[in-house]
Chains A and B, each alone.
Chain A
Amino acid sequence: MPEIGLNHFLVLSAILFSLGLFGIMTRRNAVVVLMGVELILNAANLNLVAFSKFNGTMSGVMFSMFGIILAAAEAAVALAIVLNIYARFKTVDIGEIDTMRE
Chain B
Amino acid sequence: METVSFILFSFLGALVMVGSIGTVWSRNPVTSALFLVLNFFALGGIYLLLEAQFIAVVQVIVYAGAIMVLFLFTIMLLNLDDEQALKEKFDLQKGFGILLGGVLLVEVLYILGLKINLPQKSTTLTPVEIGEAKNIGRELITNFLFPFEIVSILLLLAVVGAIVLAKKNFSPNT
Asked whether any CB of A lies within 8 Å of a CB of B in the complex, the reply is yes
A21 to B80, CA, bound (A): 23
A69 touches B155 (CB 8 A): yes
A46-B43, A52-B52, A86-B78 as given contacts; A7 in contact with B67, CB under 8 Å: no
Q: Which of B1-54 contact A (CB under 8 A)?
A: 2-3, 5-7, 9, 13, 16-17, 20-21, 23-24, 29, 32-33, 36, 39-40, 43, 46-47, 49-52, 54
Assess whether B80 is in contact with A92, with CB atoms less than 8 Å apart: yes
Partner of B98, one of A14, A22, A72: A22
Assess the A77–B21 pair: CB atoms within 8 A: no
Interface centre among A7, A12, A20, A70 (most CB of B within 10 A): A12
Q: Given A23-B24, A61-B55, is A7 in contact with B115 using a C-beta cutoff of 8 Å?
A: yes
The A contact surface, by secondary structure, is helix
Contact between B24 and A19, CB atoms less than 8 A apart: yes
The one of A19, A52, A54, A81 that contacts B101, using a Cβ cutoff of 8 Å: A19
Interface size on B, residues (CB 8 A): 89
Which bucket holds chain A's interface residue count?
Answer: 35 or more
Point out the residues of chain B lying under 8 angstroms from A71, CB to CB: 62-63, 67
A-side contacts of B87, CB under 8 Å: 28
Q: From known contacts A8-B9, A61-B136, infer whether A35 and B32 are also in contact, taking CB-CB under 8 Å.
A: yes
Checking B67, B105, B118 against A51 with a beta-carbon cut-off of 8 angstroms, the contacting residue is: B118
Contact of A69 with B77 in the complex, beta carbons under 8 Å? no
CA distance A56 to B122 in the complex (A): 6
Q: Within the assembled complex, what's the spacing in Å between the Cα atoms of A38 and B62?
A: 12
- Complex Cα distance, B151 from A74, in Å, reads 12
Other 18 A-B pairs with CB < 8 A, given A55-B119, A72-B62: A12-B16, A14-B108, A18-B102, A35-B71, A45-B59, A49-B50, A53-B130, A54-B118, A56-B127, A57-B130, A58-B143, A61-B130, A65-B58, A68-B62, A69-B154, A79-B71, A79-B74, A91-B83
Q: Which residues does A use to contact B, with CB under 8 Å?
A: 1-4, 6-12, 14-29, 31-32, 34-36, 38-39, 42, 45-46, 49-58, 61-62, 64-66, 68-77, 79-84, 86, 91-93
